[in-house]
Chain A
Amino acid sequence: MSKKKTLVVIGNGMVGQNFLATLMASDIKEGYEVVTFCEETIPAYDRVHLSEYFAGKSADDLSLVEQDFFEENNITIHMGDKASSIDRAAKTVTSDKGIVISYDTLILATGSSAFVPPIPGHDRDGCIPYRTIEDLDDMMAAAKTSKVGAVVGGGLLGLEAAKALQDLNLKTHVVQFAPRLMAAQLDDGGANLLKSKIEDLGVSVLTSKNTTKIVDGDTCKHKMVFADGGELETDMILYSAGIRPRDEIAAACGLKIADRGGIVVSDQCLTSDENIYAIGECASWNDQIFGLVAPGYAMARTVVAQLAGEESCFTGADMSTKLKLNGVDVASIGDPHASSEGALVYTYQNGVDGIYKRLVVSSDNKTLLGAVLVGDASGYPTLSQYYLNAIELPSNPDSLILPARSDESVGLGPDALPANAQICSCYDVSKGDICTSIEGGCTTLGGLKGDTKAATGCGGCAALLKSVLDCELEKAGVEVNTDICEHFAHTRQDLFNVVKVEEIKTFSELIHKHGKGKGCEICKQTVGSILASQWNEYILKDSHVGVQDTNDTFLANMQKDGTYSVVPRMTGGEVTPDGLIAIGQIGKKYGLYTKVTGGQRVDLFGARVDQLPLIWKELIDAGFESGHAYGKSLRTVKSCVGSTWCRFGVDDSVGLAIELENRYKGLRAPHKIKFAVSGCTRECAEAQSKDIGIIAVEGGWNLYVCGNGGMKPRHGDLFATNLDKETLIKYIDRVLTFYVQTADRMQRTSVWMENMEGGLDYLKSVVIDDKLNICEQLEEQMRNVVDAYQCEWKTTIEDESKLKRFRTFVNSDKHDENIVFVEERGQVRPANIEERELLLAEEA
């Protein structure tokens, strides 16, 4: 066995980590002893989504390193230790802490740093670059004592930083050296429109400003002085005016450095030393550095391939970009400035809706060279596919940017893409890779994500991925039968619409008009739920009894022995001592097993069907109401104790939880719905694992949607930040009603979201921007449901005719003798079969 070679990676940032993961997934990993130096105090994290840190994401959420990755792969990582020098002759790396490692192969993945203009006063207190988690911690600390903030730099990152300052509730200014925003990506028309959109968000934009010094301010901590004589008072300054490659360690050991900075690399990503590679933002290829993550990943793949002895080249990268700001759609593709020879330009401008689109095409009108989209970036996936794969344009290319008229479709069908078309640039997944996975039996979006990693990076390709999947399945003749069952050739959503439009109130009316046969448990429950969502009538009305699931008809969950559980509502998990005593007494009187549930309330088990009304009567008299534990409906709104008692609490989480639970209780949905409210980002209520999760932050409430615990946990997506209560409730009304109207049967919000074309951005556009113009209707629908609320148990025990149904036998007062309990830990439990037979035999 040959001795292992030593491979050292300097820098554990996004690209360094991606390199390690790619190497570990390859066959050659056995040949290397791997050591890496990580200057930061935590291993690689997702810098691309760094700004979400303000919105409540933790360093853990952003981590790119799978648990135990280093241990399992035997990689030595020197945390918080910076490589300080390289001795190329001795082939060693020395670190700040004095560690010396000999290498056979060295990889430089040192990234870049935010450019800080070298002007007098640039390093005053509260003047911070925008690059690392540590920077963000500094920012948050500085923001506590600030009212005004300024961002130096009006590029992609600068605008993101401005959004972050706004999220911290500062009056925000953007100071741009160039005459327009996003100078590298946009033309004047696009940039002007973008400026007005940014200003609409409440951010002031100053262009053509050259800062000459920063001095003590009069009204704020600092004053920026500009070359044109102007001034700006601010308490904080963020630098986001471009990046500088971290090439110092390479320069010091004599590696070739490009004139404009960056370690010079070949197509193989080799530096001027044949044992040293450089990848990511520190590398300069063809006199270009790439400030995006996808090219860095491509470089990492190139190097792993080389090490495996394969031929592989880095051939440059697509610099198309899309801005990640709420409410401002901006995208730029290829060469937006029409600098190529003979390039032709199409422009579409719509001043009313604030939309600007520009296409740059080749002189023969056949190939797309570039594009700019502002105000409506929905065409981005299609256009970037035209661009990346040099697909021939339609004869009238302007149809690609003109608003769609009548029924003509301008989208590029996934069928038109060649097999090598790259669908996901983050993970370099081609259409061919996706088709292979589908042929291998993968037929769901979730499956494809797991299999190919597509759409698990920036998420930008998710809609395209779904359309490739649908198209391939259709071609393969996999008929995606969406009928809910043999009785209705409809989807749940179809049925919902029919019920609504035709104002159908009963199952029998619906099946006579639109279905066939007598129905089954699938369609009956589905329709029962739709009728309840839409009309919210008493669920045990005669016409509904037969269509409810067993649990719904008896307003209790059936247990394995045919008895039921009883769960009174305890809004927000709050209960008085008297309430607890009452529950205790009732439990004792009826001999029930009592347990605190995972949903912050008490469950009483072992009630016979005939006991249910008696037990509920006592509970209602003690001030309780139905907890809807049996319904596909709102279950619990968990809360932590919040600002009332907790020393870290930012707001009253219990109060909000109770208010929300009271608002949405009884709402029937395609599946159960759970909420939680935490009083601060420590998140003791685990809100991010709920369908609706809310976390109190200094600026208000942060809203997360579509989380899930259960079988396939999913963290909720951050939907909106710093909301006041009124807006929060408005958004929740809209999200939930939209879910109720469009989800499949038995589809939790998490799966609904995973399957939604356009994903989170689409949901935001519907709920926040009212893209479909339905928000008013959604809110009204929720109002109706809220107004029609009744405690079903109260209605039931007050109605003699309903109580009849809770008899064990229609013709006898006896009980089911098959229900037998034994004692365990001081309470009852159902006897198992052997115990039961034994006990019954003894009695006989």
Chain B
Amino acid sequence: MAQWIDICSKGDLQPNSGVCALVEGQQIAIFYMPEDNAVFAINNYDPFGKVNVLSRGLIGDIKGEVMVSSPLYKQHFSLKTGQCLEDETVTVAAYGVRINGERVEINLNGAA
């Protein structure tokens, strides 16, 4: 059952980049691509650098897959699934996220 949690306003998002939200003790990186009117949410924890920084990486795509590049050691993670594109054994959690009017909402139980 989808549980949408209100996080912040759309204006709090950083166009073409990321911000971090604290949701029930979890750090969640939220990325916003205004041209596609798309938002993505994955865990903020970088499993390689072992610190909370993914929201501060550059975003874009690799062969069409939307991704964020870790600011520490530059591994790429899919924004849709959290899958690391360089190492198939590594995945970070991905969450449901949507823009509802002027508000941004998260669903911790999985992709929207």
A and B pair up: yes
The residue of chain A having its C-beta at the shortest distance from the C-beta of B5 within the complex is A811
B-side interface residues, number (CB < 8 Å): 38
Inter-chain contacts of B58 with A (CB < 8 A) = 520-521, 524-525, 546-550
Inter-chain contacts of A525 with B (CB < 8 A) = 58
Q: Do B15 and A486 have beta carbons less than 8 Å apart?
A: no
Decide yes or no whether A553 CB sits under 8 A from chain B: yes
Inter-chain contacts of B7 with A (CB < 8 A) = 810-811
Complex interface: stretch among A270-278, A325-333, A557-565, A578-586: A557-565
Report which of B15, B60, B63 forms a contact with A519, defined as CB distance below 8 A: B60
Instruction: Output the least CB separation between A452 and chain B (Å).
Output: 35
CA A508 – CA B60 in complex, angstroms? 12
A546-B59 in contact given A809-B21, A814-B22 (Cβ < 8 Å): yes
CA A561 – CA B50 in complex, angstroms? 8
Decide yes or no whether A723 CB sits under 8 A from chain B: no
A 808-824 binary contact with B (CB < 8 Å = 1; else 0)? 11111010101100000
A818-B52 in contact given A508-B35, A810-B21 (Cβ < 8 Å): yes
Instruction: Output the least CB separation between B58 and chain A (Å).
Output: 4
The residue of chain B having its C-beta at the shortest distance from the C-beta of A523 within the complex is B60
Q: Do A550 and B22 have beta carbons less than 8 Å apart?
A: no
Decide yes or no whether A725 CB sits under 8 A from chain B: no
Q: Do B61 and A517 have beta carbons less than 8 Å apart?
A: yes
CA A818 – CA B27 in complex, angstroms? 11
Inter-chain contacts of B112 with A (CB < 8 A) = none
- Give residues 530-566 of A contacting B (CB, 8 Å): 542, 545-551, 553-554, 558, 560-562
A558-B74 in contact given A517-B61, A545-B15, A811-B8 (Cβ < 8 Å): no
Decide yes or no whether B1 CB sits under 8 A from chain A: no
A520-B21 in contact given A562-B51, A562-B52, A833-B50 (Cβ < 8 Å): no
Instruction: Output the least CB separation between B53 and chain A (Å).
Output: 5
The residue of chain B having its C-beta at the shortest distance from the C-beta of A551 within the complex is B71
CA A520 – CA B14 in complex, angstroms? 17
CA A518 – CA B62 in complex, angstroms? 9
A811-B22 in contact given A558-B72, A562-B52 (Cβ < 8 Å): yes
Decide yes or no whether A804 CB sits under 8 A from chain B: yes
Inter-chain contacts of B13 with A (CB < 8 A) = 810
A818-B51 in contact given A518-B33, A520-B61, A521-B69 (Cβ < 8 Å): yes
Q: Do A518 and B72 have beta carbons less than 8 Å apart?
A: no
Instruction: Output the least CB separation between B79 and chain A (Å).
Output: 10
Inter-chain contacts of A553 with B (CB < 8 A) = 17, 56
CA A518 – CA B27 in complex, angstroms? 26
Report which of B14, B51, B69 forms a contact with A545, defined as CB distance below 8 A: B14
Per DSSP, chain A at the interface is: loop
The residue of chain B having its C-beta at the shortest distance from the C-beta of A550 within the complex is B71
A546-B62 in contact given A518-B33, A811-B8, A818-B51 (Cβ < 8 Å): no
Report which of A546, A550, A810 forms a contact with B20, defined as CB distance below 8 A: A810
Decide yes or no whether B19 CB sits under 8 A from chain A: yes
Instruction: Output the least CB separation between B44 and chain A (Å).
Output: 9
Decide yes or no whether A805 CB sits under 8 A from chain B: yes
Instruction: Output the least CB separation between B40 and chain A (Å).
Output: 12
Inter-chain contacts of A816 with B (CB < 8 A) = 27, 52
Inter-chain contacts of A549 with B (CB < 8 A) = 58, 71
A interface residue count range (under 10 / 10 to 19 / 20 to 34 / 35 or more):
35 or more
CA A417 – CA B32 in complex, angstroms? 58
Inter-chain contacts of B52 with A (CB < 8 A) = 562, 816, 818
Inter-chain contacts of A550 with B (CB < 8 A) = 53, 56-58, 71
- Give residues 419-463 of A contacting B (CB, 8 Å): none
CA A606 – CA B16 in complex, angstroms? 27
Q: Do A518 and B60 have beta carbons less than 8 Å apart?
A: yes
Q: Do A524 and B60 have beta carbons less than 8 Å apart?
A: yes
Inter-chain contacts of A814 with B (CB < 8 A) = 22
- Give residues 14-51 of B contacting A (CB, 8 Å): 14-17, 19-23, 27, 30, 33, 35, 49-51
Most chain A CB atoms below 10 A, which of B7, B12, B66, B71: B71
The residue of chain A having its C-beta at the shortest distance from the C-beta of B12 within the complex is A810
Inter-chain contacts of A547 with B (CB < 8 A) = 16, 58
The residue of chain A having its C-beta at the shortest distance from the C-beta of B73 within the complex is A560
Instruction: Output the least CB separation between B61 and chain A (Å).
Output: 4
CA A516 – CA B35 in complex, angstroms? 14
Q: Do A486 and B49 have beta carbons less than 8 Å apart?
A: no
The residue of chain B having its C-beta at the shortest distance from the C-beta of A517 within the complex is B61
A 794-809 binary contact with B (CB < 8 Å = 1; else 0)? 0000000000110111
CA A810 – CA B57 in complex, angstroms? 16
The residue of chain A having its C-beta at the shortest distance from the C-beta of B13 within the complex is A810
Instruction: Output the least CB separation between A522 and chain B (Å).
Output: 9
Decide yes or no whether B101 CB sits under 8 A from chain A: no
Inter-chain contacts of A804 with B (CB < 8 A) = 12
CA A521 – CA B58 in complex, angstroms? 6
Inter-chain contacts of B14 with A (CB < 8 A) = 545-546, 805
CA A420 – CA B51 in complex, angstroms? 58
CA A609 – CA B15 in complex, angstroms? 19
- Give residues 72-86 of B contacting A (CB, 8 Å): 72, 74, 76
Sample of 20 further A-B pairs with CB below 8 A, known A519-B60, A542-B15, A548-B58: A486-B63, A518-B66, A519-B61, A520-B61, A546-B14, A546-B15, A547-B16, A549-B71, A551-B71, A558-B72, A560-B51, A560-B72, A561-B51, A805-B14, A807-B19, A810-B7, A810-B8, A810-B19, A816-B52, A818-B52
A-B contact pairs, 26 of them (CB 8 A): A508-B16, A508-B35, A517-B64, A518-B59, A521-B58, A521-B69, A521-B74, A545-B14, A546-B14, A546-B16, A546-B17, A546-B58, A549-B58, A550-B53, A550-B56, A550-B71, A553-B56, A558-B53, A558-B71, A560-B51, A562-B49, A810-B7, A810-B30, A811-B22, A812-B22, A833-B50
Query: Which of A's residues lie within 8 Å of B, judged by CB?
Result: 486-487, 508, 517-521, 523-525, 542, 545-551, 553-554, 558, 560-562, 609, 804-805, 807-812, 814, 816, 818-819, 833
Q: Which 8 A-B pairs have the closest CB atoms?
A: A546-B16, A550-B71, A521-B69, A562-B51, A519-B60, A520-B60, A521-B58, A812-B22
